[in-house]
Amino acid sequence: MLSCAEFLAEFGDYLDGAAGPELRAKLEAHLNECKACQVIVDSTRKTIRIVTDSDSFTLPADKVEPIVTDVMARIRQKRL
């Protein structure tokens, strides 16, 4: 069976659903026996969900809007 270190080295693909059948079986065999790694997988999944779905990284319109509009103004001054 995989050690915890070996599990942690490979669990990224497992979290993304990208692990092949053989690797997945090895990882799940380890998970079935290891409470600590179960917690790591569970909590890391929750972390990804928090980071991905929290909408915390939405930029305010008043900050984002000027980036391209200002560049367009500079382009027009030079080119149009």
Partner 1 sequence: MSMLLNESDTQKTGAGAKAAGSLGRESATQVLAPESERNEAELIRRIQGGDVSLFYDLVRPYERVIYLSAFSLLKNEADAEDVAQEAVLKAFKNLSRFRQESKFSTWIIQISINEAKMKLRKDRRHLYDSIDNSQASEEGDYIPKDFADWREIPSEALEQKQLRKALTKALESLPEKYRTVLILRDIQHLSISETAQVLGISEANVKTRLSRARLQMRDALAPGFDGAWIRGREYQKVRPF
Which amino acid makes up residue 76? R
Is there a contact between 17 and 50 (Cβ–Cβ < 8 Å)? no
- Contacts for 42-45: CB closer than 8 Å, 24+ residues apart: 44/11, 44/15, 45/15
Q: Which of residues 10-39 bind partner 1 (CB under 8 A)?
A: 11-13, 15, 18, 35-36, 39
Q: Which of residues 57-76 bind partner 1 (CB under 8 A)?
A: 57-72, 74-76
Q: How far is CA 65 from the centre of its chain?
A: 26
| Residue 19 CB, nearest approach to partner 1 (Å) | 11
Residue ranges that bind partner 1, judged by CB under 8 A: 4-5, 8-9, 11-13, 15, 18, 35-36, 39-40, 42-44, 46-48, 50-72, 74-76, 79-80
